[in-house]
Structure 1
Amino acid sequence: MIEPLLDIRGLTKSFGALVATDDVSLTLRPGEIHALIGPNGAGKSTLIKQIAGGLPSDAGEVWFAGQNVTKLTTVARSRAGLGRTFQISSLAMEFTVLQNAVLGALGQRGTIWRFFSPVMKNLELRASAMAALERVGLADHAGTRTAELSHGQRRLLEVAVALTLKPRVFLMDEPMAGLGAEGSKGLTTFLDGLRREAPILLVEHDMDAVFALADRISVLVYGKVIATGTAEQIKANRDVREAYLGEEEGL
């Protein structure tokens, strides 16, 4: 059996009486897209924050590439190869599209920057940033201020920034949000190819995209994983349909 690149073991997080994640365990294997689905408030974004290091866990461990990274900071995990896109944009809105991508490329180097202008003159960083923008279809918007982008374009920029980090694993929190039908279709095709570079843990509400992409799907309800399986297994699971898929029109 192929060893998982990402191994989540019993992660738990409570906020007072609210248990956001409850003993969650899952794995991500090389070349795989593992989708995490569930109703709003199920704990999906909390789990992604725990995995990325932005939120300390009450219990459990995160293993990455055979190493226990539970105590590492977000920055350390990122430099180790965990690349994340966010449910809510973390982009610098006053910067241009290219400047945001360059910051991502700079982060991949682990360099502390003090003066932004010299960084923007670095041809290697600019080339890496432009290559990422080209891949997501934003090269023509390189000089556009990020605040002027549509919501969907900002999601694509998040993906481009993640690409500049050259991650070994992608953590993607609702990348399809705001893209519309055509945008979602295009990003679905892109992510299908991206898994060859690095596996993807995908949190997503677009079920067409999930069923088209995911090798495995885990269903999170009230902080607990109630099922894991292929798309067909998840569709046929009565507990899943009652807890979540029954809410989705046409499923």
Structure 2
Amino acid sequence: MSDPVLATRNLNKNFGALRATDDVSIDLRPGEIHAIIGPNGAGKSTLIQQICGGLAPDSGQVLLNGQDVSGYSTQARAQAGLGRTFQISQLCMEDTVLENVVLGAMGTERMAWRFWRPALKRPELCDRAEAALERVGLSDERNTRCANLSHGQRRQLEVAVALTLSPKAFVMDEPMAGLGAEGSKRLTGFLDGLRQEAPILLVEHDMDAVFALADRISVLVYGKVIATGTAGEIRTSPEVRDAYLGDAA
């Protein structure tokens, strides 16, 4: 079995008497999509924030390619190869599609936010941005303001921004949120191919997408992983059916 690209080891986070993550240990292996599912309030967002650097755990570790990145900032984790998309869009709505992706490409540099440098005139950044837009099918929208994109196109743009970092692993927080059936179908097909470039840790409520994509699924309930397995194993688990899936299984 290959060593995991991304892993958590015994992550714990308390908010007063509430245990938001309870001794969570999961891993993401090369070439796979590992989905994290669970009811609202299960601790999924808290877990993602701990993995990506937005929230420090009370105890435990986050490992990227075997390296402990628990003390790294969000930007340092991105520079180390952790690519993230968000549940709520973090794009610059007044900037163009290309400008958003160039800013993402600047995230690979330690002096990324020196805006007085004419980033859009730097061929290496623009080439990286253009290649990412081509990958996600947004090349024709390069000069469109982000605010004028459809919801599905903004999701594609977030993936393009993450691609500029040449990520070793993706963390995607509800990428299907707000998409219609056709948009979800297109994004599902894209993510299915993307796993070969970098594995994907996927938090998602769209069970059709989860069961279509995931090699493994972990179920989080009240901050604790109650089951990890293939789609078939999760569908037939009595504990998972009782705690979350119900008739959706």
Alpha-carbon distance between aligned partners in 2 of 1:199 and 1:71, rounded to the nearest angstrom: 22
Name the residue aligned to 2:43. Answer: 43
Q: 1:33·1:195 contact (CA, 8 Å) conserved in 2?
A: yes
Name the residue aligned to 1:165. Answer: 165
Name the residue aligned to 1:52. Answer: 52
- What is the aligned-residue identity percentage? 70
Structure 1: give runs of 5+ residues left out of the alignment.
none
CA RMSD of aligned residues (A): 1.4
Q: Classify the secondary structure of the residue corresponding to 1:31.
A: coil
Q: 1:152·1:177 contact (CA, 8 Å) conserved in 2?
A: no
Q: What are the superposed Cα offsets for residues 67-105 of structure 1, whole Å, 9 maximum, x if unpaired? A: 111111111111111111111111111211110100111
Shift, 1:150, TM fit: 2.2
The one-letter amino acid of 1:6's match is L
Structure 2: give runs of 5+ residues left out of the alignment.
none
Q: What are the superposed Cα offsets for residues 196-241 of structure 1, whole Å, 9 maximum, x if unpaired? A: 1111100011111111111100000111101000000000001101
Name the residue aligned to 2:227. Answer: 227
Moved more, 154-163 or 135-144: 135-144
Q: Classify the secondary structure of the residue corresponding to 2:111.
A: coil
Q: How does 1:78-157 map to 2 (within 5 A)?
A: 78-115=78-115, 118-157=118-157
Alpha-carbon distance between aligned partners in 2 of 1:68 and 1:169, rounded to the nearest angstrom: 15
Alpha-carbon distance between aligned partners in 2 of 1:193 and 1:151, rounded to the nearest angstrom: 21
Alpha-carbon distance between aligned partners in 2 of 1:232 and 1:88, rounded to the nearest angstrom: 30
Q: After TM superposition, where is structure 1 displaced by more than 3 Å over at least 4 residues in a row?
A: none
Alpha-carbon distance between aligned partners in 2 of 1:3 and 1:122, rounded to the nearest angstrom: 37
Name the residue aligned to 1:216. Answer: 216
Q: 1:86·1:172 contact (CA, 8 Å) conserved in 2?
A: yes
Alpha-carbon distance between aligned partners in 2 of 1:6 and 1:131, rounded to the nearest angstrom: 25
Q: 1:8·1:61 contact (CA, 8 Å) conserved in 2?
A: yes
Q: Classify the secondary structure of the residue corresponding to 1:217.
A: strand
Q: Classify the secondary structure of the residue corresponding to 1:63.
A: strand
Name the residue aligned to 1:199. Answer: 199
Alpha-carbon distance between aligned partners in 1 of 2:46 and 2:67, rounded to the nearest angstrom: 22
Q: Classify the secondary structure of the residue corresponding to 1:242.
A: helix
Alpha-carbon distance between aligned partners in 1 of 2:113 and 2:121, rounded to the nearest angstrom: 13
1:61 aligns with 2:65: no
Name the residue aligned to 1:32. Answer: 32
The one-letter amino acid of 2:154's match is R
Moved more, 117-126 or 75-84: 117-126
Shift, 1:161, TM fit: 0.5
1:70 aligns with 2:74: no
Alpha-carbon distance between aligned partners in 1 of 2:70 and 2:247, rounded to the nearest angstrom: 35
Name the residue aligned to 2:184. Answer: 184
The one-letter amino acid of 1:242's match is D
Q: 1:45·1:87 contact (CA, 8 Å) conserved in 2?
A: no
Name the residue aligned to 1:19. Answer: 19
The one-letter amino acid of 2:205's match is H
TM-score, reference length from structure 1: 0.95
Alpha-carbon distance between aligned partners in 1 of 2:69 and 2:115, rounded to the nearest angstrom: 31
Q: Classify the secondary structure of the residue corresponding to 1:109.
A: coil
Name the residue aligned to 1:238. Answer: 238
Q: What are the superposed Cα offsets for residues 24-72 of structure 1, whole Å, 9 maximum, x if unpaired? A: 1101111111000011111111101100111010111111111111111
Q: How many residues align?
A: 249
The one-letter amino acid of 1:137's match is G
Alpha-carbon distance between aligned partners in 2 of 1:127 and 1:228, rounded to the nearest angstrom: 40
